[in-house]
Structure 1
Amino acid sequence: MSHLRVHKDRIEVHLTPAEKSLALRADDIVVQRDDIRSATIADDPWVWVRGIRRRGTEIPLVVAVGVWKYHGGSDFVIIKGKRQAVVLELNAGEFTRIILSTNHAAALIDRLKLTDDPEPPTD
């Protein structure tokens, strides 16, 4: 399963060798945090897949890994079975949306929240 690393300025999706092979992709995915518009937990990630597969592998309701093209851009999808997924809506970059199956969806959403606290009020 791919590893997601959340940094202060970016998010890195490190694909396993099998996922790279299934997605027909050589590189990992890096998204700047400023480019993330929203993050949603999807109990049924299959309903979030839109468009047609441009590059990658799909066995419906079993696995989908790769790039899906639709009229407004491209999405990167890593869906495995019926696991929950995190859907990242993006403003800019290579993809419009990333759909990533994970066993730790809630923890991932918490880590994506901004950690910069506003200044405390002064007395």
Structure 2
Amino acid sequence: MARLLVDGDDLVMGLAWWEKLIARHGDVRVPLAAVEQVSIQPDWWRALRGIRVRTRALAVPGALCVGVWRHGEGQDFLALRRPRRSPTVVVDLRTEAPYARIAVSCPPGSQTVSAINTALHRQRREKAREEARGDTCGETYEEAHGDTCGDTCGDSEAVADRSVRDGPRSRPASFPPAADARTRHDAGSPDQPFRDGPGECPRVP
């Protein structure tokens, strides 16, 4: 007889060998994160919707419903045995799961729903704790490095703005090399006679 159990971060519907043979399917395994709602129905027919996939399901009225049922929202996997005598655990799944719903018969007084809900609450608490830890680490990093980065980036932007506004700085014009003292002296001027050297008298033509 099929049963539901939690295996780490997965919800597993364990099937008997003959159920696997009828459905042509192994154990059904879905992530706990894909579980949307878990409920228990006293009436087995509330879990049924759509039509049976003939090659992957078997229905014996009042005794057995095992396999895949297809409907407008997707496919359901059912494992209901003697449904009129046993309550049905119905697990509705999100779109990322391979099935839209899985349902299995359970003995009266079974703690299956409680075990699944406990696992779901634990996983959600751990996820919320990880998200909170991530936010705290991000804020701490920003406080530690944000001011320094902001000052550095601000200084760089200010320098870039000045460069764009003022344009490239032109180099100062270089002065021509100083002329040799003798060359300037020899060049003379109309008012200054040429001399052969210091202390010499002017030449007579």
Normalised-by-shorter TM-score class: 0.7 to 0.9
Q: Where does residue 80 of structure 2 map in the other structure?
A: 79
TM-score normalized with structure 2 length: 0.53
Note the alpha carbon deviations across 1:79-120, whole angstroms, 9 max, x for none: 11121110000002210000111116651111112236688x
1:100 partner letter: V
Q: Please, which moves more after superposition, 1-10 or 81-90?
A: 1-10
1:61 Cα deviation (Å)?
1.9
In structure 2, what is the equivalent of residue 36 of structure 1? 35
Taking the aligned partners of 2:29 and 2:109, their CA distance within structure 1 comes to 18
Structure 1 gap segments, 5+ residues each:
none
- CA contact 2:4–2:104 (8 Å) conserved in 1: no
Aligned to 2:21: 21
Q: Computing the radius of gyration over CA atoms, which structure comes out larger, 1 or 2? A: 2
Distance 1:16 1:95 in 2: 19
Runs of 4+ displaced beyond 6 Å: none
Counterpart in 2 of 1:97?
A: 101
- Displacement of 1:34 in angstroms is 0.5
Aligned pairs for 1:36-55 (under 5 A) are 36-54=35-53, 55=56
Q: Which amino acid aligns with 2:91?
A: L
| Alignment length (residue pairs) | 118
Is structure 2 residue 74 aligned with structure 1 residue 70? no
Report sequence identity in percent. 27
> What aligned pairs does 1:4-19 form with structure 2 within 5 A after superposition?
4-19=4-19
| Contact preservation (8 Å) 1:45, 1:99 | no
- Say if 1:85 and 1:105, in contact at 8 Å, map to a contact too: no
Task: Tell me: higher relative CO, structure 1 or 2? Use CA pairs within 8 A at least 6 residues apart.
Answer: 1
Q: CA RMSD in A?
A: 1.9
Structure 2: segments with no counterpart, 5+ residues? 130-205
SS at match of 2:111: helix
Q: Distance in 2 between matches of 1:22 and 1:104?
A: 25
Instruction: Tell me which protein shows more helix as a share of its residues.
Output: 2
